[in-house]
């Protein structure tokens, strides 16, 4: 097996891993979008305008933090994929 073949196999494995992680983030984000019937940016805006009922309940605060973290993680995976694709 030559170096180019090995490099290609490693590159493919990294691509598959990144796509899997991105897909997992998107699935989790989708669950929040269905639950709250809005995107995170809409939820955040409603939160800031005090339009979320019981926004300080444990569950809703937790959802906000997890959802926000997933959005950050999604951007991280997309950025890595973009950099590796260059």
pLDDT at 2 over 90: no
**CA–CA separation, 10 vs 71, rounded Å?**
27
| Contact (Cβ atoms closer than 8 angstroms) between residue 59 and residue 35 | no
Q: What is the DSSP string of 62-84?
A: HHHHHHHHHHHHHHHHHHHHHHH
**Interval 38-68: pLDDT, tens:** 999 999 999 999 999 999 999 999 999 999 9
Q: What percent of the chain has pLDDT over 90?
A: 76
User: In the 8-state DSSP scheme, what is residue 56?
Assistant: T
Q: What domain range includes position 33?
A: 3-85
Q: Number of structural domains, the chain?
A: 1
What CA–CA distance (Å, rounded) separates 23 from 27? 6
């Amino acid at each position: 097996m030559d170096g180019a073949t090995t490099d290609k196999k490693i590159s493919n494995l990294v691509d598959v891993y990144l796509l899997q992680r991105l897909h997992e983030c998107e699935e989790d984000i989708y669950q929040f979008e269905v639950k709250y019937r809005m995107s995170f940016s809409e939820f955040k805006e409603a939160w800031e305008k005090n339009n979320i009922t019981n926004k300080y309940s444990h569950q809703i605060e937790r959802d906000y933090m997890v959802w926000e973290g997933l959005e950050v993680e999604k951007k991280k995976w997309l950025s890595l994929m973009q950099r590796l694709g260059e």
